Amino acid sequence: MFGHISDADSRKKLMNGIKEMLRPGGTYIMEVYSDQQLPYQSGGGNDIRLLYTPEEVLTVFADWHFKHFYYGEAVRHEGNLHTGLGHVIQTVVHKPIL
């Protein structure tokens, strides 16, 4: 699911809510269109304010264990409006057990 959230503060609030909700030892998997997506014309919105930066994702989850982080091109086949080469951020993070 891609959440079109038009400002960095709201994206941060959403990601922090996910962090709070996930139980210790849980894993969160996320793929979003990156701030480099606009030239690709393969979905993800047509407004830079809707796109994520690697810094905001890395900052929010800095205290978790990153199992996977990717910032780059990926081919998507997700319906008529999200098809072709795009630029994404993929994250798999593990919430520590305190």
Backbone angles phi, psi at 62, to 5 degrees: -60, -30
- What is the pTM (predicted TM-score) of this model? 0.91
Distance in angstroms between the alpha carbons of the first and the last residue of the chain: 29
- Give CA 75 to chain center in angstroms: 16
> Is residue 26 helix, strand or coil?
coil
Domain regions of the chain by residue span: 8-94
Q: Which CATH superfamily is domain 8-94 in?
A: Vaccinia Virus protein VP39 (3.40.50.150)
Q: pLDDT of the chain along its 98 residues, tens only?
A: 566 788 889 999 999 999 999 999 999 999 999 999 999 988 877 889 989 999 999 999 999 999 999 999 999 888 887 889 999 999 999 999 98
Which among 93, 1, 90 has a CA at the least distance from the CA of 43? 1
